[in-house]
Structure 1
Amino acid sequence: MTTNLPMVLSVTSGKGGVGKTNISVNLAYNLSRMGKKVVLLDADLGLANVDVLLGIAPKLNLFHLFHEGSKLQDVIFKTSYGFDILPASSGVGDMVSLSTGQKLDLLEAMDYLEDEVDYLIVDTGAGINDNVLYFNLAVQERLLVLTPEPTSLTDAYALIKVMKLNHGVDRFRVMINMAPDMKSAKEVFSKLYKACDHFLSGVSLDLVGVIPRDQEMRKAVIKQTPVCSMSPGCPACRTLEETAKKITNWKPTSELDGNIKFFWKKLLFQEQSVA
C-alpha cells in the first residue's frame, strides 16, 4: 500500500537580497494556478517577508504556535491568490534560533497538512545559521537562488559546502535571478559548478531556471502582489511559470537520509510499505 506524499522543497540562498522570497511567492502562485494545493511556509522566522510581499497582515503567525499554544490550522492564512501561507514574525528575537523541542513541535504540527497539501514550499532565511540548515535538511528538494554578483556566488558555495560536508546533502537545484543576460547567468553557474566539482566531490547541481532582470518584478514588489498575477506575460514571469512546471515533474522521495523530515511519519510508512 502506498500513500500520496507531498513534495516539500526549500527556496534558499547563501546571501540575502537575491529575490528568494519573491521567487517562493510566485512559484506558489503558479503551482496553485495549475490546480495544486500549496502551502508556503515563511521560514525566515525573525525577519518575515512573505506577508509583506503579499500586502497582507495575518493576525496569527508561527510565534503564536510556539509561544501561545495556537494550533497550526489557526495560523494558516488563506491568500486571495489560491495558496495558503504559514506566516512568521518579524523582529522577534525568540524566533531567530529554534530550540530542538520547537523544531520537533513544528514537524509534529505540520502532520496536520500531510493529506491536505500537494506542495509545501519552505522559504528559508539566508546564510548558514542553524534555522537555515534545519529547514534545508527537513525538505526533499532544495532550490538555491543566486545572482551574478560575486558575493552571492561565494555565499551560495558556502551554503553548499556546509550542507555537503556537515550533513551529507549533495543535490541542489539552482536558479539564477536578476541576470542581465543569459551569458552572465551561465558564467556564474559554471563558476559554482567548477568550485563544487573541484573542492566538494559528488555534489550534483541542476540549473532549473534563469530569471532575467525585469522591472516588472520591482513594480510588483512595490505593489505587494505576485509579478505573475500583475504582469503574467513579462519575461520574469515566463521563467517562473516554466520553473513551476518543472517542479511538477519532481517526484517526492520516500528515502530517509538520517535527517528528520517534514511528514516523516508518512515517509516512514511509505518506506515500510514498499519494503
Structure 2
Amino acid sequence: MTQSINSAGVEKGRVVKMRGLDKKTPDQADGLRRMVKDKMNGLQEEIVEKPGVAAQGFPRVVAVTSGKGGVGKTNIVGNLAIALSRMGKRVLILDGDLGLANIDIIYGLHPEFTIKHVLTGEKDLKDVIVKGPEGVSVIPASSGLADLVHLTQGEKLNLLSEFDGLEEDYDIFLIDTGAGISSNIVYFNAAARERIVIATPEPTSITDAYALMKVMFTRHGTRTFKLLVNMVNNEAEADLVFKSLSNALLRFLQDISLEYMGCIKRDDHVLKSVKKQAPLLMLYPKSLAGKGINELAERFLSKGEDSSADGNIKFFFRRLVAPK
C-alpha cells in the first residue's frame, strides 16, 4: 500500500494579528481578504514544491477519531495525554468535538472561556488554554460553535495568528475529534499530521471505521491511518478487527496504509473513573485499561512520526481554515 505525500517547509513567519474586521473600511477589508488569500496561496505552493520533506522540530499533530460514537475515544485521548506527559512530553489537547465538551468532563474541568472566544477576538489563546491533570494543556471546545469552514476572514486571521507561537511550547498536539463523517470531523482529520482511528469489535464500529477512512481517502486523498482497537476481551479479538479492516481496505481501497497500534482491554475501572470525573490513570493506574494506555503511549513514541505525514501546528490550522 502506498503512503501519503508529505508537505513540510511551512512558513515560519508570523501572521499579522487583526481584530474587528467588520469595523474596517471597505479598502481595509479588501486588503485583509487579499492577505488571507496570499497566505493560503503561498502555503499551497509550498505543499506542491516540497513534497516528502518531513517537518523537523515541530509538535506531532495527531487526530484521534472514530466512525461512530461510544467507542471510548475521548477517554483514550485524555489518558493518553497523561501517559505521554509522564514520559516527559509537553501535550496540548484540542477538544475538537464542537458540540460536546467531553474532555472537560473526563478531566473535571470547568473552563470559563473556549476556542470560540479566540475566533471572535474576545480572548487571546493563552487566556483560553487551561491546565489539566499532570500538566496537560487543554483548548476547550465550544458547544454549538458554527462550522470552522464558515469562519469569516477576520476570524481566520485571528485563529492563524493565535496558533503561530505554539510550536515551541508543545511536543504533541492531540485533537479529540467528534465521531462520524461530518464536515468538521473530516476537516480535522484531513488537516492533522497523523490519524488514530478507534474501533471496537462491534460490527457497526468496524463498518463505520471503514466508512470514515473511505471518505477521507476519496475526498481528501488521505492514505495513512493508525488503528487502535478498544474494549476487547483479548488480543485475538483485536487482531480479528484489524484483519477485517485490512482485508476490506486491500479489496476496495488498496492505496490506504493501516498501521496497527494495539488494543485496550475491556475494564470496569474505565466507567468508574468517568463517573468520578477523573482520569483512569490517576485513579486506577494498574488497571487493565490503564496498562493498555501506557503501552499505547510507549508504542506511539517508539514508532516515531510517519515520515510521509504532513504538517505541523501552523500547517494544521492553515489547512483547517483554508478556503475549501
What is the TM-score when the length of structure 1 is the normalising length?
0.88
**Distance across 2 between alignment mates of 1:221 and 1:53:** 6
Q: Which residue in 2 is equivalent to 1:134?
A: 187
Return the offset for 1:187.
1.3
Q: Residue 98 of structure 2: SS of its match in structure 1?
A: coil
Shift in CA distance, 161/262, structure 1 to aligned 2, threshold 3 Å: same
1:153 aligned onto 2:206: yes
Residue 107 of structure 1 and its aligned partner are, at CA, apart by 4.3
Q: Which runs of 4+ in 1 moved over 4 A?
A: 100-105, 252-257
Q: In structure 2, what is the Cα distance between the partners aligned to 1:154 and 1:103? A: 35
Once superposed, what is the RMSD of the aligned Cα atoms? 2.4
Match of 1:109 in 2: 162
The alignment partner of 2:207 has SS state of helix
Task: Say if 1:261 and 1:162 are closer, same or farther in 2 by CA, change over 3 A.
Answer: farther
Amino acid of the structure 2 residue aligned with 1:237: G
Quote how far apart the aligned CAs of 1:47 are: 1.6
For 2:112, the equivalent position in structure 1 comes to: 59
Name 2:126's counterpart in structure 1.
73
**Is the contact between residue 18 and residue 177 of structure 1 (CA under 8 Å) also seen in structure 2?**
yes
Match in the other structure for 2:315: 264
**Count of residue pairs brought into register by the alignment:** 263
The aligned counterpart of 1:273 is: none
In the alignment, structure 2 segments of 5+ residues that lack a partner are 1-8, 10-54, 319-324
Q: Secondary structure at the match of 1:29?
A: helix
Larger radius of gyration: 2
Please say if 1:230 is aligned against 2:274. Answer: no
Deviations 1:184-233 (A, max 9, x none): 22112111111111000121111112111100111111111111111111
Q: Is the 8 A contact 1:138 1:262 kept in 2?
A: no
Instruction: State the partner residue of 2:146.
Output: 95
Residue 125 of structure 1 corresponds to which residue in structure 2? 178
- Taking a change above 3 Å as real, the CA distance of residues 146 and 3 of structure 1, as seen in their structure-2 partners, is closer
The SS at the match of 1:117 is coil
- Preserved CA contact (<8 Å) 1:107 1:261: no
Equivalent residues of 2:61, 2:194 under 8 A apart:
yes
Unaligned runs of 5+ in 1: 268-275
Equivalent residue, structure 1, for 2:226: 173
Amino acid corresponding to residue 80 of structure 1 in structure 2: P
Partner AA of 2:287 in structure 1: C
Aligned-partner SS, 2:95? strand
3-state DSSP of counterpart to 1:248: helix
Which one of 58, 65, 88 corresponds to residue 35 of structure 1? 88
> CA separation in 1, counterparts of 2:127 and 2:187?
24
What TM-score, normalized to structure 2? 0.75
